[in-house]
Amino acid sequence: MVTQPAYTQDHSISASGGTRTMKAYGSIGYLDNQGTTKGQEYQRYTLRTNVELNPKNWITFGAGVNGSWQYQDYGQSQAGGSTNVTADLIAAAARIEPYSLPYDAEGNLIVHPGGKARVWNVIDEWKYSTNQRETLRLLASLFTEVKLFKGLRYRMNFGPDFRYYRNGYYNDAKSIVRELSASNASISNTKDFSYTIDNLLYYDNKFGAHTVGVTLLQTASKWTSESSSISGQGIEMPSQMWYAFGTLTSAQLTSWSSGLTERQLESYMARVNYNYNSKYLLTLSGRWDGASQLAAGNKWAFFPSAAIAWRLDQESFLTNVTWLDQLKLRLGFGTVGNAAVGLYSTKGAINMVTLPFGTSTVTGYTLTNAVANQELGWEKTTQFNLAVDFAFLRGRVNGTIEAYRSSTTDLLLTVALPSVSGFTSTIANIGETSNRGIDLTINATLLAMSDFSWNINATAAWQRDQIESLMNGKEDMVANNWFIGESIGIIYNYEKIGIWQDTPQDQEQMALFNANGSQFAPGKIKIRNISLGYQVPAKLLDRIKINSLKVYAQVQNAGMLWSQIKFRDAEYGTLYYNRGYVFGINVGF
């Protein structure tokens, strides 16, 4: 009744070419995906192009553009509905008893088949309720590189990103969502634009046994988002959907809003690489970052890093060790920052309220529950690494063993405040955590022949993180599951002694718990995907002049074992994982 066979078509065309001074690539694509529920569909158009020009040997230009337009109809919209209506069409259809009549003797649609208030007639519901979303996305990457003189070059990178998103829904008075009340509609628009611009200066040179590389960077990025929305009810004609809010009265408009948010980041960086005789390596760098969302006076912070390496395999005392190919000792440290807080968290936000004043109303403002923190700054993580890289037996065995330790200070956390202060929370730099561990990676080639090889890759890791301090020093924050000296992701709950089984003994105990509000049930096993494939042997394909041939089949969401429920996901109580079958053939010529 509400489902349909779904077909997908995907097409793409690409072309590439070039000359001695130019290279280019372009592609276009189209995807059409029908939904398994009536009223649902998805379409996408894509465009991609890349061009690189080298008119002179000292200058290079490049540009790449990726664009896409997406349209998706989610089908039935639940916005503006009541809790009496089920969350999706398939679940609503499943409630209808098979012997119920959809129409009365005069041919009118029966709203509640069988006379049950929570059972709705879903016939043609996809004609009365829709939720349509459109997204336009354009990303570009442009660069210019100029060789100023020997060893010195300049590069500029510019990366803009534009996104337009529209979300509109309409529910007719005949839809089961509205329950025969007035139709409602809404439209929201969001426009995002961001860019990053990098100015880089490189210098590379070699003086005898000395090799030097210097990188200077200045970068800036900005993100701007504009949004607006309006909702109303009592739309006169279904064809108007969300395009006729101007015909509604102020009483029919239920909500409207608009907004603007902005964020900026600026950085300066310098890095020096030094190499002496391919034995001793040194890297020094420093980065100065400024984030607009932090408090005045704390927006900027300096993040240094350094690393040294010693290639022992290049030393004279190891040159006669023929089985050793590489042995390098590395030591490094660095500090990175985190400024991931909500925009305007350091500003005192207010809420607008309407108050009665005599025979009219006036607009007033109140403070929010969160107090602004005028000293909010960067969260910093400093890490030390000690590692050994090795390779021997002509590279047949190689790997890395690395030990590390890090410490994070001034964590950005939400802090609860006494309600008597007039506020309930704020964001502050508090607490400290630590992390340490050892990583081991080994790669080995056991057999290497012209038509056969046997490789083994093994990894092992040990890691330990813990909380060193919190808001009140060494005091635990039990409500957040944070405990001094314990892991950040510790599981704090009742101790589990097993899985409930479908036995008389467990059923009896579950009944006692469930009588007090628990919802225990025997555990279940679920199959989500089943895939089968067969690769036809090459000897058979040689006879018909085909390079490769593979036949495959897949079943998605095969269902709950021992379950008779076929129309929905019984584990999650949703329809997100529709059962589907895929059959295919891959042929290579």
pLDDT digits (tens, 9 = 90+) for 259-298: 999 999 999 999 999 999 989 999 999 999 999 999 889 9
- The amino acid sitting at 482 is W
- The answer to whether 182 touches 96, Cβ cutoff 8 Å, is no
Q: What's the chain's average pLDDT?
A: 86
- Tokens 């649609």, residue located: 109
| Fold (topology level) of 1-75+133-274 | Maltoporin; Chain A (2.40.170)
Q: What is the C-alpha to C-alpha distance for residues 261 and 13, in angstroms, rounded to an integer?
A: 38
Q: What is the arithmetic mean of pLDDT over 91-114?
A: 81
Structure tokens at 429: 């730099």
Which pLDDT does position 85 carry in this prediction?
Answer: 63
Cα-atom radius of gyration of the chain, to the nearest Å?
32
All CATH 2.40.170.20 domain ranges of the chain, comma separated, are 1-75+133-274, 277-472
Residue 228 burial (CB count, 10 A): 14
- The amino acid sitting at 205 is N
Per-residue exposure over 360-375, b if at least 16 CB sit within 10 Å of its own CB, e if not: eeeeeeeeeebbbbee
446 has a pLDDT exceeding 70: yes
Residues 6 or more apart whose Cβ sits within 8 Å of residue 265: 220, 221, 222, 289, 290, 291, 292, 339
| Sheet strands (E) in 423-547 | 425-448, 453-469, 526-535
Q: Which of the residue ranges 12-16, 80-84, 562-566 has the most confident prediction, judged by mean pLDDT?
A: 12-16
pTM: 0.74
Q: What is the DSSP letter of 372?
A: P
Which pLDDT does position 60 carry in this prediction?
Answer: 96
277-472 architecture in CATH? Beta Barrel (2.40)
Which pLDDT does position 105 carry in this prediction?
Answer: 84
Q: What is the C-alpha to C-alpha distance for residues 229 and 249, in angstroms, rounded to an integer?
A: 17
Which pLDDT does position 386 carry in this prediction?
Answer: 97
Q: What is the C-alpha to C-alpha distance for residues 475 and 169, in angstroms, rounded to an integer?
A: 49
Q: What is the C-alpha to C-alpha distance for residues 513 and 580, in angstroms, rounded to an integer?
A: 38
Structure tokens at 566: 């076929």
- Tokens 């506020």, residue located: 423
Residue 128 burial (CB count, 10 A): 19
490 has a pLDDT exceeding 60: yes
- The amino acid sitting at 7 is Y
* pLDDT band at residue 42 under the 50/70/90 scheme: very high
- The amino acid sitting at 226 is E
Structure tokens at 139: 């990303």
Which pLDDT does position 526 carry in this prediction?
Answer: 41
